[in-house]
Chains A and B, each alone.
Chain A
């Protein structure tokens, strides 16, 4: 089977790549696109480690075919920082040690960013429900939730 040529936009940059029709978006990101920030945890949409946004909607890149990204706007963890400047969420996760092994972190950050874009003033309950699709097996969720809440408060104050 011939590879498929896909033209898409990733983190604001026009991109082209080749993939098998059966490749997932996660396969393409981590393979030909060399964007390895998105992690593969479960490959079944349960863990959220591979979270990206497609046209500003949060999705699991393991549950999407790479060919489906044709003509869409993809954002990954690599697009979160502004050059050398970390996104406020990234900075806060570091300051508050909202991570341990780091496998879930990029998915947590992409999901949290998607939440704050939609709702700059979420309640703790809203943060917890929003992040229910992101599993962390080591640090527990408290520090992560607190980091998101504090970031939201600081971003609102600016």
Chain B
């Protein structure tokens, strides 16, 4: 960790300039809960660290008149939990962000960092995928938007171009009767990495599902959007047949690793089980139960 330069620009343009100039030797610092561990273990030896937390846009949580939320990439899980209305509108996204590490980690860790770290098991990512979140990125060639599910490229890799910085997440307005949930399976109740994570976002009208999105984590090289699972739920009253079909779609989407936390067979099976449980929670919330 010698020869390190620390920069804390106050504007996004300055940050983009400094980040692009330093090239591959630069790292973005949001919460730092992954970066500092990687530096400490010698996996990363950055020459320049660009702290983005002095840029107001990066730490802001804003709700627009249409009900959509814009969350800065460096907003910590704790800050999101303290927001007066975010957790009421997006309880699943909030619970996913607040399953990242411990309370100490949530005091710093951000959804932006969780996504850019590129772990297939990042807890906030399936919930953000289910939410239909759009991310705004800014780089030397300007600003662009992409779907959150298009950001991860593989374990530890993203589709951001060199010099691009993740700026914010935009979560769409929610029609009445909408809610979401996130569940994960881990060998203990806290402080571990997801073996499977499922995020479900639903809109229910007159007991029937009119819109659904399903995000699936820790069972493939990247977090997945499972469109077949959503299709199985849309139009249904979440009856056993629809849930079974959606669960099968989740299991079918799995391309997991075999490791000490879970075998391929276990992860594949649990993906389906968790889909059913998560959809049930999202449905209860959507119907105000």
Interface mask (B63-84 → A, CB under 8 Å = 1, otherwise 0): 0000000000000101100000
A116 within 8 A of B: no
Q: Are B33 and A45 in contact (CB under 8 A)?
A: yes
B107 within 8 A of A: yes
Q: Which residues of B are found within 8 Å of A68, using beta-carbon distances? A: 8, 29, 32, 51, 53
Neighbour of A65 across the interface among B6, B79, B103, CB < 8 A: B6
Instruction: Give the docked Cα–Cα distance between A132 and B31 (Å).
Output: 19
A130 and chain B: residue at smallest CB distance: B103
B185 within 8 A of A: no
CB distance from A139 to the nearest CB of B (A): 19
For the A-B complex with A45-B37, A114-B103, A129-B190 known, give 14 more contacts whose Cβ atoms are closer than 8 Å: A4-B6, A22-B39, A43-B40, A57-B78, A57-B108, A59-B107, A60-B104, A60-B108, A62-B36, A64-B36, A65-B29, A67-B51, A68-B51, A130-B103
Given known pairs A22-B39, A43-B40, A57-B78, the reply for A133 and B3 (CB within 8 Å) is no
Interface mask (B1-23 → A, CB under 8 Å = 1, otherwise 0): 11111101000000000000000
Interface pairs (30), CB distance under 8 Å: A1-B2, A1-B3, A1-B5, A20-B1, A24-B36, A43-B40, A45-B37, A45-B105, A48-B102, A57-B79, A57-B107, A57-B108, A58-B78, A58-B107, A59-B104, A59-B108, A60-B104, A60-B105, A64-B36, A64-B108, A65-B29, A67-B51, A68-B32, A70-B8, A111-B103, A114-B103, A115-B103, A132-B103, A133-B101, A133-B103
Q: Which residues of B are found within 8 Å of A57, using beta-carbon distances? A: 76, 78-79, 107-108
A46 within 8 A of B: yes
Given known pairs A57-B78, A62-B36, A63-B37, the reply for A132 and B105 (CB within 8 Å) is no
The number of residue pairs between A and B whose CB atoms lie closer than 8 Å in the complex comes to 97
Given known pairs A44-B40, A60-B104, A64-B32, the reply for A133 and B6 (CB within 8 Å) is no
A132 and chain B: residue at smallest CB distance: B190
Of residues 75 through 111 on chain B, the ones whose CB sits less than 8 Å from some CB of chain A are: 76, 78-79, 101-105, 107-108
B3 and chain A: residue at smallest CB distance: A1
A151 within 8 A of B: no
Interface mask (A47-76 → B, CB under 8 Å = 1, otherwise 0): 010010110011110111101101000000
Residue ranges of A at the interface with B (Cβ–Cβ < 8 Å): 1, 4, 20-22, 24, 43-46, 48, 51, 53-54, 57-60, 62-65, 67-68, 70, 111, 114-115, 129-130, 132-134
Q: Which residues of A are found within 8 Å of B8, using beta-carbon distances? A: 67-68, 70
Neighbour of B105 across the interface among A1, A53, A63, A130, CB < 8 A: A63
Residue picked from A43, A46, A59, A115, most chain B C-beta under 10 Å = A59
B49 within 8 A of A: yes
Q: Which residues of A are found within 8 Å of B190, using beta-carbon distances? A: 129, 132-133
Q: Are B107 and A54 in contact (CB under 8 A)?
A: yes
Q: Which residues of B are found within 8 Å of A111, using beta-carbon distances? A: 103-104
By size class, the interface of chain B is 20 to 34
Neighbour of B2 across the interface among A22, A48, A70, CB < 8 A: A22
Residue ranges of B at the interface with A (Cβ–Cβ < 8 Å): 1-6, 8, 29, 31-33, 36-37, 39-41, 49, 51, 53, 76, 78-79, 101-105, 107-108, 189-191
Neighbour of B49 across the interface among A54, A63, A65, A129, CB < 8 A: A65
Q: Which 8 pairs of residues, A with B, have the shortest CB-CB distance?
A: A133-B102, A22-B1, A132-B190, A21-B6, A57-B107, A59-B107, A22-B4, A60-B104
Q: Are A45 and B103 in contact (CB under 8 A)?
A: no
Q: Which residues of A are found within 8 Å of B79, using beta-carbon distances? A: 57
Q: Which residues of B are found within 8 Å of A129, using beta-carbon distances? A: 189-190
Instruction: Give the docked Cα–Cα distance between A22 and B35 (Å).
Output: 12
Q: Are B104 and A133 in contact (CB under 8 A)?
A: yes
Residue picked from A43, A62, A64, A114, most chain B C-beta under 10 Å = A64
Neighbour of B32 across the interface among A20, A53, A63, CB < 8 A: A63
